[in-house]
A = this chain, B = another copy of it.
Amino acid sequence: MKDSIASELRGMLVFARVIDSGNFTRAAKTLGISRAVTSYQVKQLEKRLGVQLINRSTRALSLTSAGKLYYDKCKVIAEQAESAHQMIENLKADAVGRLSISCPVHLGLQWVVPLATAYRRRYPQVELELNLSESISNLVQDGIDLAIRSGPLADSELRSTKLATVSRHICASPDYLNLRGWPQSLNELDKHEWIVYHRLGNQLTLTRDDKDYSIKMTGTLRTNNAAARLQFALSGMGLAVLPHYDAAKAFNSGQLVELFPDYHLPPLELYAVFPDGIEKVKASRLMIDMLKNSPP
- In the complex, the answer to whether A62 meets B143 with C-beta atoms within 8 Å is yes
Copies of chain A in the complex: 2
Total interface residues on A, CB under 8 Å, equals 67
**Cross-chain contact of A277 among B50, B74, B142, B280 (Cβ < 8 A):** B50
What 1/0 mask marks residues of chain A from 266 to 289 whose CB sits below 8 Å from any chain B CB? Answer: 000000000111101101000000
Cβ A91 vs Cβ B73 within 8 A: no
Contact between B281 and A66, CB atoms less than 8 A apart: yes
Inter-subunit contact B98/A143 (CB<8 Å): no
* A51 adjacent to chain B (CB < 8 Å): yes
Contact of A57 among B4, B10, B32, B157 (CB under 8 A): B157
Given contacts A9-B6, A77-B77, contact A280 B143 (CB under 8 A): no
Chain B residue numbers with a CB within 8 Å of A8 are 81, 84-85
- Point out the residues of chain B lying under 8 angstroms from A1, CB to CB: 10, 31-33, 37
Q: Decide if A125 is an interface residue (CB 8 Å cutoff).
A: no
The 3 A-B residue pairs with the shortest CB-CB distance in the complex, in nearest-first order: A73-B84, A62-B143, A65-B98
